[in-house]
Amino acid sequence: MEHLKARIRHVPDFPKPGILFYDITTLLADPAGFRETIDALTAPHAGQGIDRVVGIESRGFILASAVADRLGAGFVPIRKPGKLPSTTLGESYALEYGTDSLEIHDDALGPGHRVLVVDDVLATGGTARAAVNLVQRLGSTLHAAAFLIELEFLKGRDKLTDVAVTSALRY
């Protein structure tokens, strides 16, 4: 996995001072890098009956749609408030200062679905927790949450103790 790590650009102080941003555009632009990224995200979950892959706006969309295609599953978006056109279910979560929220179409998932949640980075876990809550509130079976990058020192897994979590690259 070191060759994938080598293709990720680290941008200090973006989007604000003190944050080291893991920029995956440099990885995704490389043909072999993109394919191996999707391979690494998909491998732990192949052949396990997943029929919906949920991607979190916006970098999660890029990864989740490719994973869904690889698994023969459908793709479902979770978006920032006000973006989805039909009726939605929303979930708020705490940020360092204030709150944010995410939405899913309320008919996008149901009890018959086996779901994989995908995002690029697991940091503090607030985003993933909100996404998992939306999947659970719609009555689906949550198979797992898969991340390309896990920032272990931020302990996002502590917010996901009831969820099977996989990550391809750890820092």
Q: Residues interacting with ligand AMP, by CB under 6 A?
A: 19-22, 56, 59, 119-128, 156
Return the number of the residue (51 or 150) whose C-beta is nearest ligand AMP: 150
The active-site residue, picked from 35, 52, 57, 59, is 59
Q: How far apart are CA 167 and CA 149, in angstroms?
A: 6
- Spacing of C-alpha 57 from chain mean position: 8
The active-site residue, picked from 7, 36, 57, 96, is 96
Residue 96 bears catalytic tag: yes
Q: How far apart are CA 131 and CA 43, in angstroms?
A: 22
Please report how close the Cβ of residue 57 comes to ligand AMP at its closest, in angstroms: 8
Return the number of the residue (41 or 51) whose C-beta is nearest ligand AMP: 41
Please report how close the Cβ of residue 37 comes to ligand AMP at its closest, in angstroms: 14
Instruction: Look at the block and give the residue holding tokens 């995956």.
Output: 24
Helix 31-42 with 59-71: angle, nearest 10 deg: 70
Catalytic residues: 59, 96
